[in-house]
Structure 1
Amino acid sequence: MQNVEDDKKQESLGETLMTVFYAILIAVTIRTFLFEPYKIPSGSMYPTLEVGDFLFVSKYTYGYSRHSFPFSFPKFSGRVWADKPERGDIVVFKFPKDNKTDYIKRVIGLPGETVQMKNGRLYINDKLMDRTPVGRYVISEYTPFPQDFAEYIETLPEGQTHRIIERSDSVSTVDDTPKFVIPEGHYFMMGDNRDNSNDSRKDVGMVPFENIEGKARFLFYSHDDTAAWYNPISWVRAIRWERLFNKIK
Structure 2
Amino acid sequence: MSEASETRSMGALAEEAWDVSKTVVIAVGITLFVRFFFIQPFNIPSASMEPTLMTGDFILVDKIDYGYSKASLIYPLTRMPTEGRVFSDMPERGEVAVFKNARDKNKDYVKRIVGVPGDTVQVIGGVLHINGQAVERELIESRETTCSDRDLSARRYRETMPDGGPTYIVQECDGNRGDLDNTPPKRVPEGFYFMMGDNRDESADSRTPMVQLVPHDALVGRARRVAFSVDGGRAKFWEVWKWPVAVRYGRIGDKVE
Q: Please, what TM-score do these two structures have when normalized by structure 1?
A: 0.91
Structural mapping, 1:166-177, within 5 Å: 166-168=172-174, 170-177=176-183
What residue number does 2:158 align with?
153
Q: Which residue of 2 aligns with 1:206?
A: 213
| Cα distance in 2, alignment partners of residues 91 and 196 from structure 1 | 18
- Measure how far apart 1:147 and its partner are: 4.6
Indicate which of 11, 15, 19 corresponds to 1:11: 15
- Which letter does structure 2 place at the counterpart of 1:158? D
After superposing on structure 2, the runs of 4+ consecutive aligned residues of structure 1 that deviate more than 6 Å are 228-231
Shift of 1:170: 2.2
Q: Contact 1:43/1:196 (CA < 8 Å) preserved in 2?
A: yes
CA distance in 2, matches of 1:9, 1:22: 20
The aligned amino acid for 2:212 is G
RMSD, matched Cα: 2.3
1:122 corresponds in structure 2 to 128
**Identity, % of aligned pairs?**
38
Instruction: Determine the structure 1 residue equivalent to 2:196.
Output: 190
Distance in 1, Cα, partners of 2:247 & 2:145: 17
Structure 1 residues 165 and 101 mapped into 2: Cα distance closer, same or farther (>3 Å)? same
Distance 1:230 1:74, change over 3 A: closer
Paired with 1:113 and 1:169, the residues of 2 have a C-alpha distance of 28
SS of the residue corresponding to residue 8 of structure 2 reads helix
Q: What does the per-residue CA deviation read over 1:134-188, in whole Å, with 9 as the maximum and x for residues that have no partner?
A: 1113447xx9875531111112112321111111362342111111121210000
- Change in Cα spacing, 1:132 to 1:28, as seen in structure 2 (3 Å) is same
Q: Do the aligned partners of residues 19 and 73 (structure 1) sit closer, same or farther apart at CA in structure 2, a change above 3 Å counting?
A: farther
DSSP-derived class of the 1:174 partner: helix
Relative distance call for 1:63 and 1:152 in structure 2 (3 A) is same
In 2 relative to 1, CA 241–139 (structure 1 residues): closer, same or farther, beyond 3 Å? farther
Letter in 2 for 1:78: G
CA apart distance, 1:132: 1.0
Please identify which structure carries the higher helix content. Answer: 2
Q: Does 1:222 align with 2:232?
A: no
* 1:226 partner amino acid: R
Q: For structure 2, which runs of at least 5 residues remain unmatched after alignment?
A: none
Structure 1 residue 88 corresponds to structure 2 residue 69: no
Report what 1:38 is aligned to.
Answer: 42
Q: Is the 8 A contact 2:230 2:236 kept in 1?
A: no
Q: Secondary structure at the match of 1:18?
A: helix
Q: Which secondary structure does the structure 2 equivalent of 1:173 belong to?
A: helix
Q: Aligned partners of 1:241, 1:13: CA distance in 2, in Å?
A: 39
Asked if structure 1 preserves the Cα contact closer than 8 Å seen for 2:153 and 2:174, the reply is no
- Provide, for residues 47-78 of structure 1, a one-character-per-residue CA deviation record: whole Å limited to 9, x for no partner: 11111111111111111111112122726531
The answer (yes or no) to whether the contact 1:96–1:207 under 8 Å persists in 2 is no
C-alpha distance in 2, partners of 1:117/1:156?
14
Distance in 1, Cα, partners of 2:117 & 2:238: 50
Structure 2 residue 231 is matched with structure 1 residue 245: no
The letter of the residue matching 1:124 is I
SS of structure 1 residue aligned to 2:179: coil
Aligned residues of 1:120 and 1:168 also touching (Cα < 8 A): no
- With normalisation by structure 2, the TM-score equals 0.88
Equivalence for 1:110: 116
Query: Contact conserved, 1:121 with 1:169, CA < 8 A, in 2?
Result: no
Q: 2: CA distance between counterparts of 1:229 and 1:134?
A: 32
Does residue 1:68 correspond to 2:66, yes or no?
Answer: no
Q: Which amino acid aligns with 1:198?
A: A
